[in-house]
Amino acid sequence: MFADILGVLQTILAEARGQGTAWLLLGLVLTRVWLRASPRESETSTRFQFVLMLLALHLLLLPATGLSTTFGAGVARDLRLTGSAAGAIAGVCLAGLLVFRLLLPRLRIAIPRIVQDIVVAVICVVAVFGTASRAGLDLSGIVATGAVLTGVIGLALQDLLGNVFGGLGLQLDHTIRVGDWIRVQEVTGRVVELRWRSTSIETRSWETVIIPNSVLTRSQVTVLGRRSGEARRWRRQLTFNVDFRFAPSQVIDSVLKAVRAQPIDNVASEPQPDCVLLELGDSSARYAVRYWLTDLAHDVPTDSVVQTRIYYALRRAEIPLSMPAHAVFLTQDSPERQQDKREADHDRRVFALSRIGLFRDLSEVERAELAAGLHYAPFARGEVLTRQGADAHHLYVICSGTVSVRAGAAHMEHEIAQLASGEFFGEMSLLTGAPRSATVVALTEVECYRLDAEAFRRLLEQRADMAEKVAGALAERRTGLLANRDKLSDGRALGDITQRDLLDKIRAFFSLS
């Protein structure tokens, strides 16, 4: 009895030796250790589970084969063949995992998944055939009938094969890569996975569209933003209409200044955004701003920022967007109505002035006079209102919103103050003739009125106390700039100037007594 058990065990061990079970287990342990140390990848884990199943079958069949051999059962050969084939496939898959998922990525060699799968599949077939012939099984019959079978299966699986070969072609010639943005028929999205049968695309609306590879090879596929030898950028075109009363050069200049002044997130700096006259239509001229988007996921939000810039630029230049030609105007634009409009606008400016601390003490008449020299100037968030070093032509009063005052070397500016509704800026250069001492950027949407130098000069002539007031603010702000001087690396000499000196400077500059 004991001798029988020993005999069975010896047969099982001999089977295991003959089928290379120890090597398979060693390979399994190595792959497992490496898998634990690598980032989790679902496809690799699935493949590993498949190998585990095959090895389990292989190990189960070992004692069954041993018993059948010992007791001379007729199935011993079939069991051995099945176990060896399972072991051979498991071994090839393990080797495939080690080579394609561990070794080659470390050597920075990228081989398309589909090619990896084909190589592994072919070696599996060869290994199974080798195992069978070693077991003395003649497979030539299978090969002969295989040709007929292949024909039959080929016909039945025409679609599947079309997809598989489509996928193979796409991956081999790199037509489409993971991460590309593509448009196929009605679908636009980012390629997230290229598989044997299909390609997965994630759209901007958080949908995943699975496109059969045969559709991709048969349809027109547009790869967005790709141009050979260039970084990924996608041109966007935003149109707007303006009345014929405004010269194209004036419209284009105003818009260009606004869209180029300050970088916009996801808008390429090269090529720069441009603005062109597209068409002289029936009732208005059609313009387009074209810009190059760098992150294709943010198309609509970036369009929105660019369009906001266009809108504010046109409002600052007092260029209205044109209404559609079929609009029916029921109000007659009589001289009285125009006068009413002017008065309402004037009242708005006077009201805005009354809220600005600097002008609060002015009389009604003075305020009304000053209001005539104001220009409405709204800005979108992120726009630059004045730039450090620029020539000054205006004083700004803020009606709503917040701005950041920044100073420092080019591209290294930092905030030295924030100004909000009711405050003013731009007085330093306007009063002394010096270039702008800081850059002022809109932190929110900002509504300002611009006061030109001439209107301001007239006010100072009438109100000596006003010059003193502004000189006070100016001296205080200069102190703020000075306090930040050590942080400013552009080496600008600000000098210690007193309020008195400033007042004299202002008076001299405006030729005031």
Binding site for ligand CMP (CB under 6 A): 386, 392, 405, 416-417, 419, 425-430, 436-438, 440, 477, 480-481
Which residues are within 8 A (CB) of 239 and not within 5 positions of it... i.e. 6 or more apart? 278, 286, 287, 288
Closest approach, Cβ 410 to ligand CMP, in A, equals: 15
Is residue 249 a contact partner of residue 290, using CB atoms and an 8 Å limit?
no
Distances (CA, A) of 336 to 330, 331, 348, 492: 16, 12, 18, 54
Q: Which residue has the CB atom at the shortest distance from ligand CMP? A: 480
Q: Which is nearer to ligand CMP, 180 or 427 (CB)?
A: 427
Closest approach, Cβ 463 to ligand CMP, in A, equals: 19
DSSP at 157: T
- Give the Cα separation of 276 and 252 in Å (integer): 7
Distances (CA, A) of 180 to 177, 194, 208, 303: 6, 11, 14, 21
Closest approach, Cβ 436 to ligand CMP, in A, equals: 4
Nearest Cα neighbor of 396 from 447, 345, 355, 348 is 447
Beta bridge partners of 500: none
Closest approach, Cβ 445 to ligand CMP, in A, equals: 19
Is residue 181 a contact partner of residue 234, using CB atoms and an 8 Å limit?
yes
Closest approach, Cβ 437 to ligand CMP, in A, equals: 3
Q: Which is nearer to ligand CMP, 380 or 416 (CB)?
A: 416
In sequence order, what E strands does 387-429 have?
394-400, 402-407, 414-420, 424-425
Closest approach, Cβ 397 to ligand CMP, in A, equals: 11
Q: Which is nearer to ligand CMP, 322 or 429 (CB)?
A: 429
Which residues are within 8 A (CB) of 474 and not within 5 positions of it... i.e. 6 or more apart? 427, 428, 431, 432, 499, 502, 506
Closest approach, Cβ 416 to ligand CMP, in A, equals: 5
Burial 31-64 (b: 16+ CB within 10 A, else e): beeebeeeeeeeebeebbeebeebbebbbebbbb
Closest approach, Cβ 428 to ligand CMP, in A, equals: 3
Q: Which is nearer to ligand CMP, 162 or 480 (CB)?
A: 480
Q: Which is nearer to ligand CMP, 68 or 386 (CB)?
A: 386
- Give the Cα separation of 26 and 189 in Å (integer): 44
Q: Which is nearer to ligand CMP, 30 or 497 (CB)?
A: 497
Q: Which is nearer to ligand CMP, 286 or 485 (CB)?
A: 485
